[in-house]
Protein backbone atom coordinates (compact mmCIF):
# COMPACT_ATOMS: atom_id res chain seq x y z
CA UNK A 1 0.00 0.00 0.00
CA UNK A 2 1.59 3.30 -1.00
CA UNK A 3 0.98 7.00 -1.50
CA UNK A 4 0.78 7.30 -5.27
CA UNK A 5 1.54 11.03 -5.53
CA UNK A 6 1.63 11.02 -9.34
CA UNK A 7 -1.43 8.76 -9.72
CA UNK A 8 0.22 6.35 -12.18
CA UNK A 9 -0.58 3.18 -10.21
CA UNK A 10 3.11 2.23 -9.76
CA UNK A 11 5.25 2.93 -6.70
CA UNK A 12 7.93 5.48 -7.58
CA UNK A 13 11.23 6.29 -5.91
CA UNK A 14 9.83 9.12 -3.75
CA UNK A 15 6.46 7.54 -2.93
CA UNK A 16 6.09 6.00 0.53
CA UNK A 17 4.10 3.22 2.15
CA UNK A 18 0.79 3.88 3.92
CA UNK A 19 0.41 2.38 7.39
CA UNK A 20 -2.81 1.49 9.16
CA UNK A 21 -4.81 0.56 6.04
CA UNK A 22 -6.99 -2.57 6.08
CA UNK A 23 -6.57 -5.20 3.37
CA UNK A 24 -9.11 -8.01 3.01
CA UNK A 25 -8.85 -11.50 1.57
CA UNK A 26 -11.82 -13.53 0.35
CA UNK A 27 -11.91 -17.03 -1.10
CA UNK A 28 -11.54 -20.42 0.60
CA UNK A 29 -10.52 -18.35 3.68
CA UNK A 30 -11.69 -14.87 4.61
CA UNK A 31 -9.27 -12.64 6.54
CA UNK A 32 -8.15 -9.07 7.02
CA UNK A 33 -4.86 -7.47 8.03
CA UNK A 34 -3.59 -3.93 8.61
CA UNK A 35 -0.56 -2.51 6.80
CA UNK A 36 2.57 -1.89 8.86
CA UNK A 37 4.70 1.28 9.07
CA UNK A 38 6.07 0.66 5.55
CA UNK A 39 2.69 -0.16 3.98
CA UNK A 40 3.47 -3.90 3.88
CA UNK A 41 1.07 -6.71 4.82
CA UNK A 42 0.91 -10.50 4.49
CA UNK A 43 -1.50 -13.42 4.51
CA UNK A 44 0.17 -16.66 5.58
CA UNK A 45 -0.49 -20.39 5.38
CA UNK A 46 -3.41 -20.10 3.00
CA UNK A 47 -5.18 -23.23 1.79
CA UNK A 48 -5.12 -23.94 -1.93
CA UNK A 49 -7.51 -21.90 -3.99
CA UNK A 50 -8.26 -18.63 -5.71
CA UNK A 51 -8.62 -15.47 -3.62
CA UNK A 52 -9.51 -11.81 -4.08
CA UNK A 53 -7.39 -9.21 -2.28
CA UNK A 54 -9.03 -5.80 -1.70
CA UNK A 55 -8.22 -2.66 0.23
CA UNK A 56 -10.78 -0.96 2.42
CA UNK A 57 -11.30 2.60 1.11
CA UNK A 58 -10.18 5.46 3.38
CA UNK A 59 -11.93 8.85 3.37
CA UNK A 60 -9.86 11.56 1.67
CA UNK A 61 -8.04 9.08 -0.59
CA UNK A 62 -8.69 7.83 -4.12
CA UNK A 63 -7.41 4.46 -5.39
CA UNK A 64 -4.90 4.87 -8.24
CA UNK A 65 -3.88 1.24 -8.68
CA UNK A 66 -4.48 -1.41 -9.66
CA UNK A 67 -6.27 -0.11 -12.70
CA UNK A 68 -9.67 -1.66 -13.46
CA UNK A 69 -8.28 -3.16 -16.68
CA UNK A 70 -5.88 -5.43 -14.77
CA UNK A 71 -7.67 -5.96 -11.46
CA UNK A 72 -10.88 -7.51 -10.13
CA UNK A 73 -13.90 -5.71 -8.72
CA UNK A 74 -13.84 -4.87 -5.01
CA UNK A 75 -16.17 -2.80 -2.87
CA UNK A 76 -15.04 0.78 -3.46
CA UNK A 77 -12.39 -0.01 -6.08
CA UNK A 78 -10.29 -2.63 -7.79
CA UNK A 79 -8.31 -5.48 -6.26
CA UNK A 80 -6.16 -8.43 -7.20
CA UNK A 81 -6.82 -12.08 -7.92
CA UNK A 82 -4.43 -14.46 -6.18
CA UNK A 83 -4.01 -18.20 -6.67
CA UNK A 84 -2.37 -20.41 -4.06
CA UNK A 85 -1.18 -23.44 -6.06
CA UNK A 86 -0.60 -26.98 -4.75
CA UNK A 87 3.15 -26.61 -5.44
CA UNK A 88 3.55 -23.68 -2.99
CA UNK A 89 0.89 -23.85 -0.26
CA UNK A 90 3.09 -22.74 2.65
CA UNK A 91 4.27 -19.44 1.16
CA UNK A 92 3.04 -16.10 2.42
CA UNK A 93 1.35 -13.71 0.07
CA UNK A 94 1.54 -10.03 0.71
CA UNK A 95 2.31 -6.50 -0.26
CA UNK A 96 0.41 -6.82 -3.52
CA UNK A 97 0.49 -3.13 -4.38
CA UNK A 98 -2.41 -0.76 -4.02
CA UNK A 99 -1.66 2.84 -4.98
CA UNK A 100 -3.67 5.66 -3.40
CA UNK A 101 -3.63 9.39 -3.98
CA UNK A 102 -4.80 11.93 -1.42
CA UNK A 103 -7.79 13.97 -2.55
CA UNK A 104 -7.32 17.73 -2.21
CA UNK A 105 -9.79 19.08 0.35
- pLDDT for residue 76: 82
Does residue 77 contact residue 97 with C-beta atoms inside 8 Å?
no
Domains of the chain and CATH, by start: 2-99 (2.60.40)
| pTM (two decimals) | 0.87
Element containing residue 50 per DSSP (H, E): strand 49-55
Per-residue pLDDT of the chain (105 residues; tens, 9 = 90+): 999 998 888 888 999 999 999 999 999 999 999 999 999 998 888 889 999 999 999 999 999 888 877 788 998 889 999 888 877 766 666 667 899 998 864
Q: 27 near 51, Cβ under 8 Å?
A: yes
Amino acid sequence: MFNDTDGDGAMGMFEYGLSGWTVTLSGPVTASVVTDATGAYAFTKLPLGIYTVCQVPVAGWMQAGPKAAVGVACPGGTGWSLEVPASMPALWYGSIDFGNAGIAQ
